[in-house]
Amino acid sequence: MNASNNQGPRRPSVLLISVDALKPEFVFEQERLGVSLPAITRYFVEKGLTAREGSKSVFPTFTYPCHQSMITGTNPATHGIVNNGIFDPTGEHKGAWHWFANDKVKTLWEAAKDGGYCSASVAFPTSVGARGDYIAPEFWWDGSDIDSKFIDAVAKPQGLIAEMEQAIGTYAGGLDLSDAGDAQRGKAALWMLKNKLAPQISEKPFFLSAYFASFDESAHQHGVYSREAAESLEKIDRMLEELIQAAEAITGGDLVVCVVSDHGTLDNTHNISPNILLKEAGLIETDSQGRVVSWRAFSQRAGGTAEIRLADPGDEEAAAKVKEIVERLAADPESGILEVVDREGAKARGGFPEAAYVLISEKGYELRDDVDGEYCRTRLTQKAQHGYNEEFPEMRASFMLTGKGIIPGNLKAARLIDVAPTLAGIMGVELPDAEGKNLME
């Protein structure tokens, strides 16, 4: 759809803000949880269209698959980003993540651009290579100044990050998930609004996606209901207000704001490591430093979920050993494994199309990639986690709308894959691959 196809009243600009791990209870039960979110309360609780029961996330409920599902309206098995990190048992990819926008289905960035919007993004996960007008992606290398040079090279247009950093300082590329990193993300989004989108507003509306990570990180480090997590969320709330006010001023109120999260989160009690069992069965070999040097089967974590792949799907001996291990875990009430799903079952849930099996853990049992030590331990790596069963109520995400044409109420039966088609409908642009639906219809 081209801009020339969109006749009639001027369409609203759209601001999409993802607050990582924001659970609906933090929005609607602030007093009970000891958190104060005046901006979210004023814009969304009091006069917004909100999913009070939360929105169902995807499988797995992990940040990168969720964000690409959010921006495409498709499940991970469809868009292809099934985990945060690339599957890499031996470390040959040196810790690379799925930083890139998918090349299988259309994203909302591309749909907005094709539909006559000025399409932009700041720090949104899975945005390297996104087809938009102004893309400041999330990407990192080593946390040094090299990051800025890399990000500037993959930004659209090239030179965007260097220009931005002259005004705001170092762009938070992705390794700094602290409150300070989020403060830089907020500055970057404001800079984008004022310097790239405002000058074009008389000619075309904008679509801007932005992202805040610190609430999720504070929960990982201190616990979901810790004071540190609450304080991070309160700081994000203040930055939300700044962004919304700036966008309202630029658009004259001709604006829709959507605040979402990718998933919920819950506190951990145990760590479990299936690779230890795979190694004991002779399916993983390590060197003297404990590094994997070869593997016939490997389990890669996604928080409360892990996919087990076979190096050679035709390796019948390895397949038989893996089958015996996962059946033993499923039958053992002390294993921490709630459910074992085979490849077809995983694909039916929308994730892990290359897995031989997917392990889904009990609440609180975070899956890890360790190949040595105890299978189950109470010494935690992180105090809270997501990636758990998408059916758990604790994994439900937030979905809130406010602004022009939005009638206050409750969004029922909302899903993460409904975000993109709902916003596409508001903008009047085409998202042909979406598996979700427009909740405004």
Whole-number Å distance between alpha carbons of 183 and 152: 19
Task: Average the pLDDT over 220-226 and give the result.
Answer: 98
Burial of 274 from C-beta contacts in 10 A (0-12 / 13-18 / 19+) = buried
pLDDT digits (tens, 9 = 90+) for 97-131: 999 999 999 999 999 999 999 999 999 999 999 99
> Mapping DSSP to helix (H, G, I), strand (E, B) and coil, where does residue 149 land?
helix
For residue 320, what pLDDT is reported? Answer: 98
Number of CB atoms found within 10 A of residue 432's CB: 10
For residue 430, what pLDDT is reported? Answer: 97
User: Of all residues in the chain, what percent are helix, strand and coil, respectively (each to 5)?
Assistant: 35, 20, 45
Q: Quick check: 272 and 388 in contact, CB under 8 A?
A: no
368 strand-pairing partners: none
Torsion angle in degrees (nearest 10) through CA of 314, 315, 321, 323: -10
pLDDT digits (tens, 9 = 90+) for 291-342: 999 999 999 999 999 999 999 999 999 999 999 999 999 999 999 999 999 9
For residue 8, what pLDDT is reported? Answer: 52
Q: Per-residue pLDDT for 167 more than 70?
A: yes
Task: Average the pLDDT over 274-297 and give the result.
Answer: 97
Q: Per-residue pLDDT for 4 more than 90?
A: no
Burial of 346 from C-beta contacts in 10 A (0-12 / 13-18 / 19+) = buried
* Cα–chain center distance at 350: 15
> Mapping DSSP to helix (H, G, I), strand (E, B) and coil, where does residue 33 land?
helix
Among residues 23, 431, 399, 418, the alpha carbon closest in space to that of 225 is found at 23
For residue 2, what pLDDT is reported? Answer: 35
For residue 62, what pLDDT is reported? Answer: 98
Burial of 93 from C-beta contacts in 10 A (0-12 / 13-18 / 19+) = exposed
> What is the percent of the chain where pLDDT is above 90?
98
Mind listing the domains of the chain with CATH numbers?
11-266+392-427 (3.40.720.10), 269-381 (3.30.1360)
For residue 3, what pLDDT is reported? Answer: 38
For residue 266, what pLDDT is reported? Answer: 98
Whole-number Å distance between alpha carbons of 347 and 369: 22
pLDDT digits (tens, 9 = 90+) for 344-381: 999 999 999 999 999 999 999 999 999 999 999 999 99
DSSP classification of residue 100? B
Among residues 437, 70, 18, 12, the alpha carbon closest in space to that of 207 is found at 12
Q: Per-residue pLDDT for 387 more than 50?
A: yes
For residue 6, what pLDDT is reported? Answer: 46
Q: Which residues contact 430 (CB under 8 A, 6 or more apart)?
A: 1, 111, 114, 115, 424
pLDDT digits (tens, 9 = 90+) for 29-77: 999 999 999 999 999 999 999 999 999 999 999 999 999 999 999 999 9
For residue 10, what pLDDT is reported? Answer: 86
